[in-house]
Amino acid sequence: MKRAAIVGAGPNGLSAAITLARAGVATTVFEAAETVGGAARTAELTLPGFRHDVGSSVYPLGVASPFFRQLPLEQFGLRWIEPAAAMAHPLADGSAVMLEHSLEATAAGLGEDAAAWRRLMEPLVESWTELCGELLGPVLHVPRHPLLLARFGVFAMLPATALGKMLFRGERARALFAGCAAHSVRPLESVMSAAVGLVLGAAGHAFGWPIAEGGAQAISDALAAYFVSLGGEIRTGAKISDLRELGEVDAILCDVSPQQLRQIAGARLSQGYAKKMERFAYGPGAFKVDWALSEAIPWRAKECLRAATVHVGGTMEEIAAAESAPWRGEIAARPFVLVTQPSLFDATRAPAGKHTAWGYCHVPNGWEGSAVEAIEAQMERFAPGFRECVLARHVMGTQALEDWDANLIGGDISGGAMTVGQMVARPALSLYRTGAKGLYLCSASTPPGGGVHGMCGHLAAVQALRDSGKT
């Protein structure tokens, strides 16, 4: 392989490009937008001086990524900021349960469930680097740590609600775990919904849930700058509607959704593979509100000001009800709202004395309604007076998200539903390979799935290099 083209300059496309460039392949990245980043971008959405992460904002898997950790991204401007606590989860009684960096400190806040939390998380935290390598590595591989992976699997295979009820007696521990598991964007009564809860809980203790100084754009810009330093080329404002526009190259890696791949690849795909892309299932969408604030969010539980991430949803039962609703084509009256408040820890995000925050909830894929009232009612429930702090808001429903980033089909921010089948065969049993010679998929619709960690792009590029005899 001598020359390659990457379609899409999101974190996965850039990671694929870096992997190829480091192997000596002349690589060009084509990006439809005027800036790199995909769903990891930052912009002034509300008022001048208020910088908002338009998509992703908090990066427990970014700081832990086996691929990112081997790159000199700090030399290209990336600075991780770790808040005092990884995450906060306010409750109706005015208190908050905290995911602290310290396992012991977290357990201390869980009362009767302190020992159970330690037993569940301690083995994962102690072996986090090894576990992360297994979970973010290739789907099909010989485990280097089979016993660790097996122990994780025993709990990961369970529904999150079942695991919560089995291990914990109190509301606090159950709510803490349910909030982490809700990042799976799956009904918490479904099998394997516990997996994400385990991963994010352990990540909080091992590396934390950091933000990037200056916003998500800093991650994308650092990846892009490093790639260019390797001799790579990036062409922004270059939308690819047909892969033939790329000319003669030895390999093409596409950081796009299966739906987009089918459109731009055309006859290069076999009829059977094209049908698989057509049948690929997308999960619930997101409905997001960005706020410019006159002051910090007035949480009743002041501990929430110690974390950049706040889970607003109440008890495990409330969260489970909220997360199952989108799968029935509904939105819960009290949705589970994921909130970030980065300006508490990063002064570059807002003018002095002011703040930025955003909150989103899960809604049916392609949903056309408004969740602003439901989201802000939840905020008022746990932070009375919140609306009085709002200087301006910017709203993005499912269509607006897809219009902003074409990979977010119907507002799905995970690259496709994380069903059991699509965890293993994502988007098909061939994984990154499309069946067409030299054509690969490298987006979040491939393993290991959603999140800003670059592993989808990196592993797809490794596969392409292996197929070409380069490695």
Tens-digit pLDDT profile for residues 308-348: 999 999 999 999 999 999 999 999 999 999 999 999 999 99
* Mean pLDDT of the region 105-121: 97
The tokens of 247 are what? 């000319």
Total residue count of the chain as it appears in this document:
471
User: 3-45+53-57+215-280+414-467 and 81-211+284-403 share one CATH topology?
Assistant: no
**Backbone phi, then psi, for 378, in 5-degree steps?**
-65, -40
Q: How much of the chain exceeds pLDDT 90, in percent?
A: 91
pLDDT of residue 148: 80
Q: What is the tens place of the pLDDT at every residue in 222-235?
A: 999 999 999 999 99
Q: What is the tens place of the pLDDT at every residue in 378-424?
A: 999 999 999 999 999 999 999 999 999 999 999 999 999 988 888 88
* Mean pLDDT of the region 207-236: 98
pLDDT of residue 424: 80
d(CA 125, CA 120): 10
| E-strand stretches of 64-214 | 80-81, 87-90, 96-99, 211-212
pLDDT of residue 139: 66
Superfamily of domain 3-45+53-57+215-280+414-467 in CATH is FAD/NAD(P)-binding domain (3.50.50.60)
Following DSSP, what letter does each residue of 347-390 receive, concatenated?
Answer: GGGSSTT-EEEEEEEEE-TT--S--HHHHHHHHHHHSTTGGGGE
pTM for the full predicted model: 0.96
* Mean pLDDT of the region 112-131: 94
Quick check: 135 pLDDT over 90?
Answer: no
Three-state secondary structure readout of 237-261: CCCCCCHHHHCCCCEEEECCCHHHH
Q: What is the tens place of the pLDDT at every residue in 84-98?
A: 999 999 999 999 999
Quick check: 282 pLDDT over 70?
Answer: yes
pLDDT of residue 141: 60
**Backbone phi, then psi, for 309, in 5-degree steps?**
-115, 130
Domain ranges of the chain: 3-45+53-57+215-280+414-467, 81-211+284-403
For 412, residues 6+ apart whose C-beta sits below 8 A from its C-beta are 185, 282, 283, 284, 285, 286, 365
At 29, the pLDDT band (50, 70, 90 cuts) reads very high
Q: Which CATH number fits domain 81-211+284-403: 1.10.10, 1.10.760, 3.90.1070, 3.90.660?
A: 3.90.660
Quick check: 464 pLDDT over 90?
Answer: yes
pLDDT of residue 133: 83
d(CA 391, CA 293): 5
pLDDT of residue 470: 72
At 137, the pLDDT band (50, 70, 90 cuts) reads confident
Average pLDDT taken over every residue of the chain: 95
At 134, the pLDDT band (50, 70, 90 cuts) reads confident
The tokens of 158 are what? 């369970």
Residue type, 70: Q
Q: What is the tens place of the pLDDT at every residue in 141-192?
A: 656 767 788 888 899 999 999 999 999 999 999 999 999 999 999 999 999 9
